[in-house]
Structure 1
Amino acid sequence: MSEAFLIALRTIADTLLIEEPTEMQPYLVDWRKRHEGSALAVALPGSTKAVSEIVKLCADYCVPIYPQGGNTSVCGGSVPDMRGNGIVVNLRRMNRILSVNPQDNSLVVEAGCVLANVQEAARATNRLFPMSLGAEGSCQIGGNIATNAGGTAVVRYGNMRDLVLGIEAVLADGTIWNGLRTLRKNNSGYDLKNLFIGSEGTIGIVTAAALKLFPQPRHTVTALVAVASIEDAAQLATDVQNQFPGTVSAVELISESEFALVVTHIQGTANPLSNRAPWYVLVELAGAEAEDVMSDRFMSALEASVNTGAVADATIATSERQRQQLWHIRHHVTEANVKGGMGLTHDIAVPPAKIPVFVRRAEAALASAFSQAVPVVVGHLGDGNLHYIAMFSHADWSATVDKSGCASAVGRLLYDIAFDLGGTFSAEHGIGSIHLREMARYKLAVEVELMKRVKSLFDPAGIMNPGRVLPDSNIG
């Protein structure tokens, strides 16, 4: 059957097909080299019509489909499993900007557009597409939608769900649904696009999107502040949002351990501060007020904390080059962690006010159970999302006999703390294949059952990204 399927697949127009194992390899392993799979072929369609024909053929032959964007997932959601009986459908050829309407504050793009290119297309019309994250030079809009990506600007602009006005998607039977509306208000029944946002390709393939734009801020102030404790960092985030309402674009948390990894492993990174501290907060303000006025107000706001010792040092970027240097530290944390050791990353979220409690409890629990692991933390103070990393040296990790058991135990330890504080085990990275056990453990049974019904309705044959998001009955 697979040969007949491949013969038919080769006839679909506007599609590049990769079948040679060596050429397929980059599409079968994630960028961190932690998840690897196998496939019959990799299809690279050039149009929504081609995607539709591919999916219809797969439905006819009951061949699993693994949708793929920039392959920047950290949850094992963007590569196939090892069965080798399905195909990867990668949308990188569908990378066109279809329209930009600054008067309407909207932009329509194909799903294979790289995020950085979408940002640039908006900027060219004096508009802002605010989604920003470390992988923005390679991640694609379709993947951002499929995982409901977050990033550094969520505190002001929200997650991807808040930035999507409409989508076009190919359903599991090959039907094309064109919902590329740019309306801000549309109260005509169920909001179907939201089913696809965060679904990780399990109910269909997003092929295009209408996105929300904003006027470009006139002025921006970016500062890096060194603080004495996690409590001081949380208080700073609260104070900044209170004193600069409506202008805070980012409040990012970086631990000293993370800061040191970036300075050590990322070429061209320098410490812009004279004094080191246990924690750093990267703050960005954007608005109509003049930069020097905002800068002066910001430094004045820090004075009391400097006098008490809560703030050890601070610097404000005085040029775009310096601003980019500060963001360079934040945006290269993942690359630095890969080079620095084996980092077990946990994408937790708790109510922002409970961040210090989580950090203190997690640090104590990790020290007690896994003393060789160093806590490495980076996250979004404004929305309560922390990437809490248990960092093992390469030598310690190599000596670990039961690596899977160790990773599972560390995860459960941290997720139990987050759950106890009213939080979650997945804030912005998605579920993929690695969090199925957590879905079974922490999600309410009724929620999982409702999601399974949605999956069954849209994909009754179960061919869309199987083994992702939804746990089966054997996982507990």
Structure 2
Amino acid sequence: MDTGAALISRLSMELGADAVLTAASDVDGFIEDFRGRYKADALCVAQPATTQQVSFVVRACAESGTPVLPQGGNTSLCGGAVPAAEGARPVIVSLARMRRIRNIDVANGSIEVEAGCVLKTVQDAAAQVQRLYPVSLGAEGSCQIGGTISTNAGGTGVLRYGNTRENVLGLEVVLPDGSIWNGLRGLRKDNTGIDLKQVFIGAEGVLGIVTAATLKLHPLPTHRSVAWFAPVDPAAALRILGMFQAGCGSSLSAYELMNARQLELVIKNVRDRRDPLSAAHAWHVLVELSDIRDAAGLDEALLRTLEQATQEDLVEDAVLATSDMQRHALWEIRHSVTEANKKEGVGFTTDCAVPVSAVPAFIERATRAVHAVEPGMDIVIVGHMGDGNVHFIPMFSFDEWKTRPDAATQGAALRHCVNEVAYELGGTFSAEHGIGQTGLPEMAHYKSDVELTLMRAIKRALDPKNLMNPGRLIP
């Protein structure tokens, strides 16, 4: 029996035959990313149901020298959760069976969940006890908590609540040798040395597998006020953001920007999506206030700020949601952008972040840079303007992608020139999507030798055999 077959047999005996997938029809959905950009073979897919089973799988792989690829909901935009074309076939460790909510401590404002829990399930469980888990993104109905932690996911609530890193209190992690670190503390303050959980948040599975987490909960907003408006341009949107911050304070929970092309693609490609405004506009913003105070007060603050912006000729048109149904419809537009773009063509998505004050300059200069390389290039823009994260997306049509022999290399060059603009403005090329496979050349280009040396030292210390998600994150 060869090494691979022996490992599969060993895993099947421990986990059960139904928990180790080898048939092509069963494995196929795990070895290709959801946009169809990456696909390669795996030895098998293991689906452990407990932390102890995860430990067994990792230990068995370590003993046989087999790479381990942790996988959550497989919603990565950078090829971080599927096999690479090069290297030995990995065992994909799917956490989908580990979906228990272990405990909710309302008084402590915390919830302990297993890594396979879908993000929306955690949000709903928190809401049932009048609490909020604030990490929110378009894939929240399918992405898993372990994946959001391993990529330090951002989303639409970062402006008020921070990204995933700010909302994790403790972790349980299976290390590359199979040992288990239990750091599931629900403490806000623990000054006993290096904060080890931070080593694994955003590490994309290259240092271990997150199997459970203690997450921070917040008071559940009882009222929300939402508007969709058309700013004159991104500079006007920035000024209006300042007005909302000054006039609404901590109740400002989201401030999302998109260009006309992005809205057009959502309306074209996603059923039941409509333009909220009566006429076409070049730029759009979705703004939300939320709080536990009365709805009338929020509505008044929202309306007052928009009226001020209109008087200063910063807003062309606006509409306020007057019901939960309308509020939901406006948010559905924002959460439909990934689906819409996937159906339209091949976008070279960037994940840049710049200082909030530099967002208008970034958009203007990145547009010029792309059109200097590819005149007339279709550009889709959507971003979390409130935290400076802009997804600037040069996009090829499917026909261009199929017929142009230089499409892939040109797309990568376009993405790089956008990233260059971000760095010139004091920004970064990855704000919330992670590195995966796509970002490795940019990591090698932008990260200093000191930073890469430190990352590699941590990797060698924890995973000397380089078996945990190799070929990701660290060039």
Q: 1:187 aligns with which of 191, 198, 216?
A: 191
Aligned residues: 471
Residue 147 (structure 2) pairs with residue 143 (structure 1): yes
- Paired with 1:193 and 1:60, the residues of 2 have a C-alpha distance of 26
Aligned to 2:323: 319
Q: 2:213 aligns with which of 201, 209, 214?
A: 209
Is the partner of 2:122 in helix, strand or coil?
Answer: helix
Deviation at residue 398 of structure 1 after TM alignment: 2.2
- Paired with 2:402 and 2:219, the residues of 1 have a C-alpha distance of 50
Aligned to 2:44: 41
Residue 55 (structure 2) pairs with residue 70 (structure 1): no
Residue 303 (structure 2) pairs with residue 299 (structure 1): yes
Q: 1:470 aligns with which of 461, 467, 474?
A: 474
Residue 14 (structure 2) pairs with residue 12 (structure 1): yes
Residue 416 (structure 2) pairs with residue 412 (structure 1): yes
Identity in percent: 45
Aligned to 2:129: 125
Residue 395 (structure 2) pairs with residue 391 (structure 1): yes
- Paired with 2:15 and 2:302, the residues of 1 have a C-alpha distance of 57
Deviation at residue 291 of structure 1 after TM alignment: 1.7
Residue type matched to 2:348 in 1?
L
Q: Does structure 2 conserve the Cα–Cα contact (< 8 Å) formed by 1:51 and 1:170?
A: yes
Is the partner of 2:296 in helix, strand or coil?
Answer: helix
Q: Does structure 2 conserve the Cα–Cα contact (< 8 Å) formed by 1:226 and 1:276?
A: no
- Paired with 2:260 and 2:347, the residues of 1 have a C-alpha distance of 16
Is the partner of 2:271 in helix, strand or coil?
Answer: coil
Deviation at residue 317 of structure 1 after TM alignment: 0.9
Post-superposition CA distance 1:253-308 (Å, at most 9, x none): 11111011111111001112123211111111111332222212222222233234
Aligned to 1:431: 435
> Relative to structure 1, is the Cα distance of residues 124 and 288 closer, same or farther in structure 2, using a 3 angstrom cutoff?
closer
Q: Does structure 2 conserve the Cα–Cα contact (< 8 Å) formed by 1:55 and 1:173?
A: yes
- Paired with 1:114 and 1:4, the residues of 2 have a C-alpha distance of 32
- Paired with 1:13 and 1:256, the residues of 2 have a C-alpha distance of 51
Residue 288 (structure 2) pairs with residue 284 (structure 1): yes
- Paired with 2:306 and 2:89, the residues of 1 have a C-alpha distance of 59
Q: Does structure 1 conserve the Cα–Cα contact (< 8 Å) formed by 2:348 and 2:394?
A: yes
- Paired with 1:44 and 1:3, the residues of 2 have a C-alpha distance of 17
Matches within 5 A, 1:347-386: 347-386=351-390
| TM-score when normalising by structure 2 | 0.97
- Across the aligned residues of Structure 1 and Structure 2, the Cα RMSD in angstroms comes to 1.1
- Paired with 1:21 and 1:275, the residues of 2 have a C-alpha distance of 50
Is the partner of 1:224 in helix, strand or coil?
Answer: strand
Stretches of structure 1 that go unaligned for 5 or more consecutive residues are: 472-476
- Paired with 1:264 and 1:227, the residues of 2 have a C-alpha distance of 22
- Paired with 2:396 and 2:187, the residues of 1 have a C-alpha distance of 48
- Paired with 2:419 and 2:292, the residues of 1 have a C-alpha distance of 41
- Paired with 1:331 and 1:263, the residues of 2 have a C-alpha distance of 12
Q: Does structure 2 conserve the Cα–Cα contact (< 8 Å) formed by 1:38 and 1:84?
A: no
Matches within 5 A, 1:249-264: 249-264=253-268
Deviation at residue 397 of structure 1 after TM alignment: 2.3
Worse-superposed segment, 32-41 or 81-90: 81-90
Residue type matched to 1:81 in 2?
A
Is the partner of 1:245 in helix, strand or coil?
Answer: helix
Deviation at residue 84 of structure 1 after TM alignment: 5.0
Residue type matched to 1:8 in 2?
R
Residue type matched to 1:71 in 2?
N
Residue type matched to 2:29 in 1?
P
- Paired with 1:395 and 1:309, the residues of 2 have a C-alpha distance of 41
Matches within 5 A, 1:452-463: 452-463=456-467
Residue type matched to 1:62 in 2?
G
Worse-superposed segment, 294-303 or 325-334: 294-303
- Paired with 2:25 and 2:222, the residues of 1 have a C-alpha distance of 49
- Paired with 2:222 and 2:462, the residues of 1 have a C-alpha distance of 44
Deviation at residue 367 of structure 1 after TM alignment: 1.6
Q: 1:25 aligns with which of 22, 28, 37?
A: 28
Residue type matched to 2:350 in 1?
H
Residue type matched to 1:80 in 2?
P
Residue type matched to 1:5 in 2?
L
Residue 120 (structure 2) pairs with residue 134 (structure 1): no
Aligned to 1:160: 164
Runs of 4+ off more than 6 Å: none
Deviation at residue 382 of structure 1 after TM alignment: 1.1
Matches within 5 A, 1:220-235: 220-235=224-239
Deviation at residue 133 of structure 1 after TM alignment: 0.2
- Paired with 1:108 and 1:225, the residues of 2 have a C-alpha distance of 38
Q: Does structure 2 conserve the Cα–Cα contact (< 8 Å) formed by 1:148 and 1:159?
A: yes
Aligned to 1:474: none
- Paired with 2:292 and 2:127, the residues of 1 have a C-alpha distance of 17
Q: Does structure 2 conserve the Cα–Cα contact (< 8 Å) formed by 1:67 and 1:205?
A: yes
Residue type matched to 1:13 in 2?
L
- Paired with 1:352 and 1:259, the residues of 2 have a C-alpha distance of 22
- Paired with 1:29 and 1:66, the residues of 2 have a C-alpha distance of 13
Q: Does structure 2 conserve the Cα–Cα contact (< 8 Å) formed by 1:436 and 1:468?
A: yes
